[in-house]
Amino acid sequence: MPDDLFSAALADRLQSRPPLAARMRPRSLDEVVGQDELLGAGKPLRVLIEGDRLSSVILWGPPGTGKTTIARLVANATAKAFEPMSAVNAGVKDVREVVERARSRLGQRGQGTILFLDEVHRFNRTQQDALLPHVEEGLLVLISATTENPFFSLVGPLLSRSTMFRLEPIEPKALRTLLERALVDRDRGLGEDALTIEPGALDHLVDRADGDARHALTCLEVADALTAEDGRVEITLADAEAALALRALRYGDDEHYDVISAFIKSIRGSDPDAGLYWLARMLEAGEDARFIARRLVILASEDVGLADSQALVVADAAARAVEFVGLPEAGINLAHAVLYLARAPKSNSVISALGAAREDVRDQPAGRVPQHLRDASYPGAARIGHGDGYRYPHAEPSGWVDQQYRPPETAGRRYYQPSGHGDDREDSGWGEARDDDGER
């Protein structure tokens, strides 16, 4: 046999029948593995399906967690007509045709309609809006499936008219059960090949599946084909590794926000290794390097601030390197900034001080600019008293003078509170101009 994974003989074997994941799709709720919180005995989604009382729902979860399977089980259990549709290749015209059939069906024989819309996040706002009146009047029961966070990808009215069920990645124990079942099932699985699998190979397939049942079954099918074509009777760890081709990292809108959140919190928490991990995760997924750089520049002032003002310089330099050097090499500059920021002392006094000042601006009366601080540069300014009484700090030996710089309404308010971390201390920088008694 040639070493090429996709040799002609192997390809023919894999294409000779439907994919294993399709053949092993559960035919009843009792065959479902995983999602016990939703589909276990007495659990909400199961009760609604078995009672044919399902209203419009959103099934949200990663790939391979059972969204399409649940929809097919609903189709088998309901007395309503079931209309499947994929938002990848459907449009408003297709929705209108479904609506017309639903009206005809309801009028002629009193039968309701369930529309299963897979990949609903692919519909734009206009396409989603086209569904609303028909869902609202009850003509359609809409089952939407999505891998993206509905709060980011679906319009508010559609969300408010649907019950959301979140599907979690399939647990390793459930994945193991599914793979073992597929190996021995002679009717739908791989049982006719009469192969066994090394425990380490099964562990590897389960571990690398990342909770994706479809991916796990697909890899098992490839490993089975490799083994059978080679005339062996046991799937080895090498077969499992060969079957586990590189897969794209999952990184939709939801992961975009979750990963950047974990990235920022790791650096804020002074964990350089975690910061590097999330950076690598974003770079490998194709995240915009400029977005990462902008977040680092913000973090430098928000979470490091005056504790180490050099952090802002380093972050800004990394952002400039992204523009000047570009990826992949600029990843090194971003890693440099991540490590510096994670190891730097932390202080949020800058953002806290700005927040306190802005709160006063919003909540306190807008006092007039004190007379001595007003612009005295134009002709006639002196005649109306602008600048009267202003004392020039550089004319004093200490470089500091005691005068009021704010309106009277806020003169006694203090916004900046040094954290005491790193350089962010009472006696650092701004405090050096105080007199011998420690007073400003």
CA distance 111 to 96: 18
Q: Which pLDDT score, from 0 to 100, does residue 15 have? A: 54
| Ordered DSSP codes for 350-387 | HHHHHHHHHHHHHHS--PPPPGGGS---STTTGGGTTT
8 Å CB contact between 367 and 407: yes
Sole residue written with tokens 């040094």: 418
Q: Which pLDDT score, from 0 to 100, does residue 234 have? A: 93
Q: Which pLDDT score, from 0 to 100, does residue 285 have? A: 84
Q: In terms of Cα–Cα distance, which of 24, 31, 65, 13 is closest to 183?
A: 24
CA distance 192 to 400: 90
CA distance 256 to 13: 38
Overall pTM surpassing 0.75 (yes/no):
no
Q: Which pLDDT score, from 0 to 100, does residue 6 have? A: 44
Q: Could you list the mean pLDDT of each consecutive 10-residue stretch along the chain, which spans 440 residues?
A: 47 66 91 90 90 90 92 89 91 91 92 92 90 90 91 89 92 95 93 91 90 93 90 90 68 75 96 96 88 95 95 96 89 96 96 91 84 83 84 89 86 87 74 40
How many C-beta atoms lie closer than 10 Å to residue 82's C-beta?
17
8 Å CB contact between 50 and 29: yes
How many C-beta atoms lie closer than 10 Å to residue 84's C-beta?
15
Q: Tens digits of per-residue pLDDT, 33-90? A: 989 999 988 888 999 999 888 889 999 999 999 999 999 999 888 889 999 999 988 8
